[in-house]
Structure 1
Amino acid sequence: MRSVGVEEELLLVAPDTGSPRAVAGTVLERAGDEAGLEKELQREQLETATSPTTDMTVLAAEVRQGRRTAAEQARRAGAEVAALATSPLPVDPSLSAGRRYRKLAAEFGLTAQEQLTCGCHVHVGVESDEEGVAVLDRIRPWLAPLLALSANSPFWQGDDSGYASYRSQVWGRWPSAGPVEVFGSAAAYHARVEALLATETLLDLGMIYFDARLSRHYPTVEIRVADVCLDAEDTVLIAALARALVETAARAWRAGEPPEPATVGLLRLTEWQAAKSGVSDRLVHPLTWTPAPAKTVVRALVTHVREALSDAGDLQWVRESSERLLKGGGGAGAQRASRRRTGELGAVVADAVARTAA
């Protein structure tokens, strides 16, 4: 059974207005290392992380505990946390302290300054770099449906963006972000990374922002395409599907099945459509590269990884959870429903605060 771990970025907001608050430094100083919280690019956000586990029940408990810990520590600094991938209310973000962040701001201008986005990164264990790259080559077509399932950022600077995941559009401004080509081998992957670094456009390895990459620190594939999810259960669903995708891809590699040779241009288009639609409209089907209802594509994803889900004991739960998410519209659907119900973006944030620590 492959291990899986999750990192979630959470938004720090004012309890009364819902506007982002730049208090991450205060939260982290008061919380101490034992709280397990980390700083991010902007002072209006925090990161939580789970331990590696093979048990999705354990993962779910750790995701919820990480959110509760973040909420408790934020309250000590006069703030709340919300699992929102972008701020619904207007914000002028404040860059975190540190030489690297200052250099990011100097080199990348508004791309860095405006980058207040919160993602969900899933780490899945692999046996070697060779297996990891074989996985990266074979999961590419299915990352857009994962983005659609996680979509939780319809609002940007006080307006409806017209997207279910506007975070992915903002994140895509980085020069190395997005889908990648088929590498074919670990040597080719590392050579491509070295070629990118040799341009001196990127500061360091930390800026290899592929949708999925080999982790720098752990023996894992790191799938980075998802928004942070509004509900913890959706985070676990993304993690279960990510692990199943990795296992399915590894089995295909061992069986000698070649990866789908879709171009980066086609993959970028499918991810754009996933960001636009979420689960509320059509997506591009990875088996036909033609439009299909989101529910059809999500069910195709579950079918694609059915054997791996069944072997892990996750199949029935994933089926039920994905159907629930489709019916409810996911995080983007919940945010827009809250806006329609109340007419206030502050109420959207308040609802997210309540759901984050639920």
Structure 2
Amino acid sequence: MRTVGVEEELLLVDARGFAAPVAPLALADAPPEGDGPAVSAEIQQEMLETQTPPQTSMTTLLADIVAGRELADRLALRHGARAVALAMSPRRLRPHATPDPRYDRMMERYGLTARGTLVCGCHVHVGIASREEGVAVLDRIRTWLPVLLALTANSPFAGGVDTGHASYRFVVWHQWQSAGPTDVFGSVEAYDLFERILVDTGVILDKGMLYLDARLSHKQPTIEIRVADVCLDARDTVVLAAL
């Protein structure tokens, strides 16, 4: 039976609904990682990422997603903020980069694309038996990923305006050169070559910046489906994961 895990990026907001750069303070209070959901930093201080353990039961996965959201919210609340499942801030904002050597390099290399991007997605990890199987799955599911985006769209407002898009996060995210759909790879060798060319030519700093709508995880034996907005309702996240 395949395992499924979920990462959710959550927006941190103050009492007026403005993005609040409290992630470093919140994470300083985080408990040690255990067997349950974990929380970590992201590129901007106005967001946190939650991660569930891999599960085979959607009921257990839902409980973990809810627990992860509650943990992030408790940590944010200690510093006058809340953690909310919004893919973009509906209010105007100026993001604050998370202090980190890798993020510093990204800010320097990619300028406003990195400095101005504050978007929250949902990433679903599905277990695979091999990288060969993973590439075959990526090739098969690529035409279905727009459907998953449509089902999870949760960012019509940004910067105080109605953007006219159901998922403006998707539009903003595609400023990154390595984001978006791909052609059929056909083999692990072709996938690795594609990745290596982007790194060697400086398009991306490392494998972690391969921001495709779906990719092989470089840390876990999974494919990672990254096309979706973070969902307002955790039950919708489970539907996404099940699909």
Letter in 2 for 1:74: A
1:30 lines up with 2:32 in the alignment: no
Any gaps of 5 or more consecutive residues in structure 1?
242-358
Residue matched to 2:238: 236
Cα distance, 1:32 vs structure 2: 3.6
Residue matched to 2:154: 152
Q: Distance in 2 between matches of 1:50 and 1:216?
A: 17
1:77 lines up with 2:79 in the alignment: yes
1:9 lines up with 2:9 in the alignment: yes
User: Rg: which structure is higher?
Assistant: 1
TM-score (norm 2): 0.97
Q: Distance in 2 between matches of 1:63 and 1:194?
A: 34
Residue matched to 2:215: 213
Identity %, equivalent residues: 55
Q: Distance in 2 between matches of 1:139 and 1:12?
A: 32
Cα distance, 1:174 vs structure 2: 0.3
Cα distance, 1:157 vs structure 2: 0.6
Residue matched to 2:18: 19
1:190 lines up with 2:192 in the alignment: yes
Cα distance, 1:201 vs structure 2: 2.1
Letter in 2 for 1:207: M
120, 123, 126: which one aligns with 1:121? 123
Cα distance, 1:194 vs structure 2: 0.8
1:51 lines up with 2:50 in the alignment: no
Letter in 2 for 1:98: D
Letter in 2 for 1:159: V
Q: Distance in 1 between matches of 2:129 and 2:154?
A: 32
Q: Distance in 2 between matches of 1:200 and 1:113?
A: 18
Deviates more, 1:72-81 or 1:161-170: 72-81
When the two chains are superposed, the root-mean-square deviation of aligned CA atoms in Å is 0.9
Query: What do the CA deviations read for 1:146-166 (whole angstroms, capped 9, x no partner)?
Result: 000010001111111110000
Residue matched to 1:336: none
Letter in 2 for 1:141: T
- Asked if 1 retains the 8 angstrom alpha-carbon contact of 2:178 and 2:203, the reply is no
1:107 lines up with 2:106 in the alignment: no
Letter in 1 for 2:30: A
Q: Size of the alignment, in residue pairs? A: 240
Structure that is richer in strand per residue = 2
Q: Distance in 2 between matches of 1:77 and 1:30?
A: 10
DSSP 3-state at the match of 2:29: helix
Letter in 1 for 2:150: A
Q: Distance in 1 between matches of 2:202 and 2:160?
A: 36
Residue matched to 2:225: 223
Query: What do the CA deviations read for 1:89-123 (whole angstroms, capped 9, x no partner)?
Result: 11000000011111111111111111100000000
Q: Distance in 2 between matches of 1:227 and 1:239?
A: 13
TM-score (norm 1): 0.66
Cα distance, 1:33 vs structure 2: 3.1
Q: Distance in 2 between matches of 1:109 and 1:155?
A: 24
Q: Distance in 2 between matches of 1:182 and 1:99?
A: 34
Query: What do the CA deviations read for 1:250-282 (whole angstroms, capped 9, x no partner)?
Result: xxxxxxxxxxxxxxxxxxxxxxxxxxxxxxxxx
Structure that is richer in helix per residue = 1
DSSP 3-state at the match of 1:37: strand
Q: Distance in 2 between matches of 1:197 and 1:41?
A: 19
Query: In the TM superposition, what are the counterparts of 1:1-358 in structure 2 within 5 Å?
Result: 1-15=1-15, 17-34=16-33, 36-241=38-243
Query: What do the CA deviations read for 1:158-200 (whole angstroms, capped 9, x no partner)?
Result: 1111100000000000010000011111111111111111112
- Asked if 1 retains the 8 angstrom alpha-carbon contact of 2:173 and 2:179, the reply is yes
Q: Distance in 1 between matches of 2:151 and 2:213?
A: 15
Query: What do the CA deviations read for 1:52-87 (whole angstroms, capped 9, x no partner)?
Result: 011000000000010111111111111111100000
